[in-house]
């Protein structure tokens, strides 16, 4: 062990009665949490244990170790010798989970060097789901400055490639755990981008952006908590609204059409079946209709949030809660 490392380890050991490393006392759930890497452990693990665990043959131990490395390095940047090199090795680990954890770990550190160390994780061959997870991890607020504003590591092409193949399936549990940022101008801007990326603007109008086909979302922040708001977006058919509500038509020949009647004459019903597209009209003769009832399914499509990273979802929530930046939430009032 090099002297400096020995000294550091000894110092830390003396300073605090430290808990044992994950390699010796594996947690009940050995899988790294893919959505909540910042889930803080109460205390830091000893640097020598982290380095040892990084060499483990068990990939779940290596996962925990690289996250521990990030937490430790974020607090004490000089404590772990070769921390950045270790991050780089983890980004190239044969196990995808370890590579993903290396990106999450870089997010905990949030430094330029840490970001540079994990860029290989963006260039490995990935499945669609894996691409989504890597994109979500790289979109941590702490890493954004290193790839959004300039591109010293030439990651824009690999990122575009990942975006083109990525798929995700957000769950309410995972999204409910994300932290919602205060309404700064930068967050409102990103939130507006997310509003457009997820196609919300096809049916809702907020702060002058979008078409008003669906209900007005003004003041939505007064009605719902963050989690309830996310739930209404993830699962639109709970708690159906009357505005823009669809009817369900069953025809005598057994077809089912759900849509909104835009005009009705004696021999023609014009039914718009996609709220975001005025041209999506089906014409029915009222005599063809056997049964008409209010639809129990929302006209708002499912899965819209899957085009966004968790960070973007958080910014979208801030955008909606502040009516597109027009309402200043109390906790943002000191920002000028
Ligand atoms: C195809 C049209 C359409 C799109 C696209 C759409 N919505 Fe909706 N949305 C609706 C309709 C219609 C309702 C009202 C019916 C209902 O409650 O489901 C609604 C309801 C909502 C509600 C609940 C409003 C309330 O007062 O309870 C929220 C919040 C919402 N949408 C947000 C969004 C966000 C955010 C997006 C983008 C990710 C989005 N919507 C995309 C049509 C749409």
Query: What one-character-per-residue DSSP string does 130-159 give?
Result: HHHHHHHHHT-TTTHHHHHT--TT--HHHH
Does the C-beta of 230 come closer than 6 Å to ligand 1?
Answer: no
Q: Give the residue, by CA position, lying nearest to ligand 1 atom 14.
A: 241
Does the C-beta of 200 come closer than 6 Å to ligand 1?
Answer: yes
* Burial class (CB within 10 angstroms; exposed 0-12, middle 13-18, buried 19+) of 291: exposed
pLDDT digits (tens, 9 = 90+) for 311-329: 999 999 999 999 998 875 5
Q: Give the residue, by CA position, lying nearest to ligand 1 atom 36.
A: 200
From its phi and psi, is residue 251 left (phi > 0), alpha (psi between -120 and 50) or beta?
beta
| Residue 118, number of CB atoms within 10 A of its CB | 30
E strand intervals along the chain? 247-251, 256-265, 268-272, 281-284, 289-294
CA of residue 214 to ligand 1 center, whole Å? 6
Does the C-beta of 314 come closer than 6 Å to ligand 1?
Answer: no
Tell me the CA distances in angstroms from 40 to 36, 133, 153, 224, 250, one per residue in order. 9, 20, 29, 28, 54
pLDDT digits (tens, 9 = 90+) for 70-116: 999 999 999 999 999 999 999 999 999 999 999 999 999 999 999 99
Does the C-beta of 199 come closer than 6 Å to ligand 1?
Answer: yes
pLDDT on residue 29: 46
pLDDT on residue 171: 95
Average pLDDT over residues 253-273: 92
Does the C-beta of 67 come closer than 6 Å to ligand 1?
Answer: no
What percentage of the chain reaches a pLDDT higher than 70? 85
SS3 70: helix
pLDDT digits (tens, 9 = 90+) for 146-183: 998 889 999 999 999 999 999 999 999 999 999 999 99
SS3 98: helix
Does the C-beta of 203 come closer than 6 Å to ligand 1?
Answer: yes
Partners of 268 in beta bridges: 265
pLDDT on residue 57: 97
pLDDT category at 3 given cuts 50, 70, 90 is: very low
N-terminal to C-terminal alpha carbon distance within the chain: 50
pLDDT digits (tens, 9 = 90+) for 202-224: 999 999 899 988 888 999 999 99
Average pLDDT over residues 264-289: 92
Partners of 251 in beta bridges: 289
Q: Give the residue, by CA position, lying nearest to ligand 1 atom 41.
A: 200
Task: Please tell us whether the domain made up of 172-239+301-332 is placed in CATH 1.10.760.10.
Answer: yes
CATH code given to domain 247-294: 2.30.30
pLDDT category at 238 given cuts 50, 70, 90 is: confident
244 and 299 in contact (C-beta within 8 Å)? yes
pLDDT digits (tens, 9 = 90+) for 34-52: 444 445 555 788 999 999 9
pLDDT digits (tens, 9 = 90+) for 20-31: 444 444 444 444
Q: Where are the domains of the chain?
A: 3-165, 172-239+301-332, 247-294
DSSP, residue by residue, 147-211: HHT--TT--HHHHHHHHHH------HHHHHTSPPPP--HHHHHHHHHHHHHTTGGGT--BTTBS-
pLDDT on residue 216: 87
- The per-residue pLDDT of the chain, averaged, comes to 87
Asked whether residue 32 carries a pLDDT value surpassing 60, the answer given is no
């Amino acid at each position: 062990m090099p002297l400096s490392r020995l000294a550091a380890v000894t110092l830390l050991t003396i300073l605090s009665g430290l808990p044992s490393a994950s390699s010796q006392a594996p947690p009940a759930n050995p899988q790294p949490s893919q959505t909540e890497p910042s889930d803080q452990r109460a205390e830091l693990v000893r640097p020598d244990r982290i380095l040892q665990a990084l060499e483990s043959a068990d990939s779940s131990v290596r996962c925990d170790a690289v996250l521990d490395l990030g937490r430790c390095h974020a607090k004490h940047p000089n404590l772990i010798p070769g921390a950045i090199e270790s991050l780089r090795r983890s980004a190239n680990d044969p196990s995808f989970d370890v590579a993903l954890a290396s990106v999450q770990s870089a997010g905990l550190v949030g430094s330029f060097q840490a970001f540079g160390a994990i860029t290989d994780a963006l260039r490995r061959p990935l499945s669609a789901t894996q691409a989504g997870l890597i994109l979500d991890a790289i979109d941590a607020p702490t890493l954004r400055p290193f790839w959004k504003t300039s591109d010293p590591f030439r990651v824009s092409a690999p990122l575009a490639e990942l975006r083109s193949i990525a798929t995700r399936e957000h769950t309410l549990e995972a999204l409910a755990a994300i932290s919602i940022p205060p309404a700064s101008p930068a967050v409102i801007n990103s939130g507006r981008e997310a509003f457009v990326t997820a196609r919300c603007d096809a049916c809702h109008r907020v702060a002058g952006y979008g078409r008003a086909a669906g209900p007005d979302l003004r003041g939505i922040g007064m009605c719902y908590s963050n989690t309830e708001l996310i739930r209404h977006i993830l699962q639109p058919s709970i708690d159906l609204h009357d505005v823009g509500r669809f009817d369900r038509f069953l025809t005598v020949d057994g077809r089912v059409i759900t849509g909104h009647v835009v005009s009705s004459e004696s021999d023609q019903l014009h039914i718009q079946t996609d709220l975001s597209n005025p041209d999506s009209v089906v014409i029915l003769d009222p005599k063809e209709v056997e049964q008409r009832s209010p639809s129990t399914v929302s006209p708002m499509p499912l899965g819209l949030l899957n085009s966004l990273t968790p960070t973007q979802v958080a910014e979208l929530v801030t955008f909606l809660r502040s009516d597109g930046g027009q309402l200043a939430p109390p906790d943002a009032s000191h920002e000028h």
